[in-house]
Amino acid sequence: MNKIQTADVLPKRKKQRGMQLSAPSNSYKIQFNDIVIFILERKMGVTRRMFLMDLARRKGFRVENELSDSVTHIVAENNSCAEMLQWLKGRRMGDRSGFRLLDVSWLTACMEAGKPVDSEKYRLLISRDPRENRNLSPPRTKPVTSQKISQYACQRRTTSNNYNKKFTDAFEILAENYEFRENEGPCLAFRRAASVLKFLPFTVMKAKDIEGLPWMGEQVKGVIEDFLEEGESPRVKTVLSCEYYRSFKQFTSVFGVGLKTSEKWYRMGLRTLEDVQKDKSLKLTRMQRAGLLHYEDLISCVSKAEADSIALIVKDIVWRFSPSALVTLTGGFRRGKKTGHDVDFLITIPEARQEEELLHQVIDVWKKQGLLLYYDIIESTFEKTKLPSRKVDALDHFQKCFAILKLHKERGDHSSSIVSYDSTEEEVKDWKAIRVDLVVSPFEQYAFALLGWSGSRQFARDLRRYATHERKMMLDNHALYDKTKRIFLNAVNEEDIFAHLDLDYIEPWERNA
């Protein structure tokens, strides 16, 4: 497989918010002056285009940010020649005689060869089918008011604009309480209801507004009616004042502490983190000790600016060992969120099989740099012949590193500095501990891993549920399997996975379910 394919597509309107621009073309030495490349963003996306531009420049190619008369080669992905001509015409460059219109596989072949390769076999040609040479416009989706709202989050475009936050916050508290008590049914019911309300482009003002919506069971309706009539929910107030809930909420906020540990501590009579720290009989894991040591930093929100700073650190060290690696910020930040609790990265290497050693090399350097506060590397347990998991919440088998990094603050930024005292002097802490998860995926599984690690959790759950119940397929972070045809379905990007499932593609920023 020789195409460099990612699906890290972000909407154009998000382009200037928190995106790292590609390095200018003069940042690297140009070795091949006769070729001037322009990479088309259309159907490719901002982030993937940036990766390819930077990769080509590091290989000595001249790559322009904007289309101009100096360009000799236009590289596109999943675009027909007719679509390319129409695109050029819209920019008053209908005469294509000065350009070579090429598939992205040409650029990939050049990267592998380390020099320009013959472009003739990679040219985009006019199709003999006249239907393909029309000015094709993307299909229009029906407005929300004229279509039935799906029970599946993967068929709903949910942005971060939540018009029903007071309801969804209440549902999350109730769902969390049921999760602490390991009562899965009501937990899922409230999370599904919250997901539907997050999708609505209006604020629920009366009971009639939720008529006909999926997942609006009696308990859900009761909470909504309480808010509409009284401005609050007695049920939510009861949960918030419950000792069991408050203890579990504290315990599970510690890095490395799950439900089983929380249950154990509660049965021992512990109720607060102060109780935990005072109990010398407890045998804490390395992760839990690190979680308690850096607790105040880790429970504070990570800003998008901090995530971008971590991204620079991660990319710098990964590219030192694997210059062609694709390093993608995933999770909530990829979905356009402004804050998070940790920073997740998905890494893959298109050109070589170097995945197994990469994380160990990265960790060794961070140790020497004094940036590493904690780490735990989990090796891959993936089996190629294994079918995707039937569980919608199944964990994947990629190699991972769960780390806590020391992020030094900018000079003059002491907004969250911690002041500690000893007998002689005051010491200002000029760094913040931030959780960083690194996941390494084989290149052929990258699209599935990217889709799964981008979330949201409810979106991923419903996507897998849809695959099983509506398409007779099995989907996880590694693969998509058609149970009817008994074959694995290949995907080089996220769009391919949606196409296999016969779903409209949903952008990452529309997956905040």
Active site residue 482: no
Q: What whole-number distance in Å separates Cα of residue 161 and Cα of residue 153? A: 15
Considering the entire predicted model, what is its pTM?
A: 0.71
Q: What whole-number distance in Å separates Cα of residue 373 and Cα of residue 479? A: 34
Query: Residue 234: in which H helix or E strand, if any?
Result: helix 234-240
Determine whether domain 144-240 maps to CATH 1.10.150.110. Answer: yes
Beta strands in 175-305 (DSSP E): 302-303
Active site residue 69: no
CA distances from 346 to 266, 327, 332 (A): 36, 6, 13
pLDDT score, position 136: 37
Domain with CATH 1.10.150.110 in the chain: 144-240
Q: Which residues make Cβ contacts (< 8 Å) with residue 155, sequence separation at least 6? A: 466, 503, 504
Q: What whole-number distance in Å separates Cα of residue 45 and Cα of residue 40? A: 9
Q: Which amino acid is at 220?
A: V
Q: What whole-number distance in Å separates Cα of residue 510 and Cα of residue 125? A: 34
Determine whether domain 243-293 maps to CATH 3.40.50.1000. Answer: no
Whether 76 and 104 have beta carbons less than 8 Å apart is answered as yes
Domain with CATH 3.30.460.10 in the chain: 302-500
Whether 54 and 23 have beta carbons less than 8 Å apart is answered as yes
Whether 466 and 502 have beta carbons less than 8 Å apart is answered as no
SS (H, E, C) 199-220: HCCCCCCCHHHHCCCCCCCHHH
The alpha carbon dihedral of 65, 67, 73, 75 has a sign of positive
Q: Which residues make Cβ contacts (< 8 Å) with residue 339, sequence separation at least 6? A: 301, 302, 303, 304, 332
- The pLDDT profile of the chain, 513 residues, written as one tens digit per residue, is 333 333 333 333 333 333 333 344 445 788 888 899 999 888 777 777 888 888 888 888 999 888 887 889 999 988 888 888 878 877 766 555 568 889 888 998 888 788 898 888 788 875 444 443 343 333 334 444 435 899 999 999 999 999 999 999 999 999 999 999 999 999 999 999 999 999 999 999 999 999 999 999 999 999 999 999 999 999 999 999 999 999 999 999 999 999 999 999 999 999 999 999 999 999 999 999 999 999 999 999 999 999 999 999 999 999 999 988 999 999 999 999 999 999 999 999 987 665 678 999 999 999 999 999 999 999 988 887 788 988 888 889 999 999 999 999 875 454 444 444 344 444 678 999 999 999 999 999 999 999 999 999 999 999 999 999 999 999 999 999 999 999 999 999 999 999 999 999 999 999 999
Active site residue 476: no
- Locate 133 and state its tokens: 């040479």
Residues comprising the chain, all counted: 513
pLDDT score, position 52: 86
Q: Domain 12-133, what architecture?
A: 3-Layer(aba) Sandwich (3.40)
Catalytically annotated residue among 342, 396, 476, 496: 342
CA distances from 307 to 82, 358, 367 (A): 40, 21, 20
pLDDT score, position 105: 86
Among 383, 414, 408, 394, which residue's Cα sits nearest to residue 475?
Answer: 394
Q: What are phi and psi of 488, to 5 degrees?
A: -85, 140
CA distances from 103 to 47, 72, 74, 411 (A): 18, 14, 8, 46
Q: Which amino acid is at 199?
A: F
Question: What is the spatial order of strands in the sheet that 343-348 belongs to?
Answer: 326-329, 343-348, 431-440, 399-408, 372-378
SS (H, E, C) 434-476: EEEEEEECCHHHHHHHHHHHHCCHHHHHHHHHHHHHHHCEEEC
Catalytically annotated residue among 8, 54, 103, 344: 344
Q: What whole-number distance in Å separates Cα of residue 437 and Cα of residue 401? A: 6
Peptide bond into 262 cis (omega under 30): no
CATH level 3 topology of 302-500: Beta Polymerase; domain 2 (3.30.460)
Q: What whole-number distance in Å separates Cα of residue 207 and Cα of residue 215? A: 14
Catalytically annotated residue among 226, 275, 437, 482: 437
Q: What whole-number distance in Å separates Cα of residue 192 and Cα of residue 214? A: 9
Q: What whole-number distance in Å separates Cα of residue 226 and Cα of residue 187? A: 19
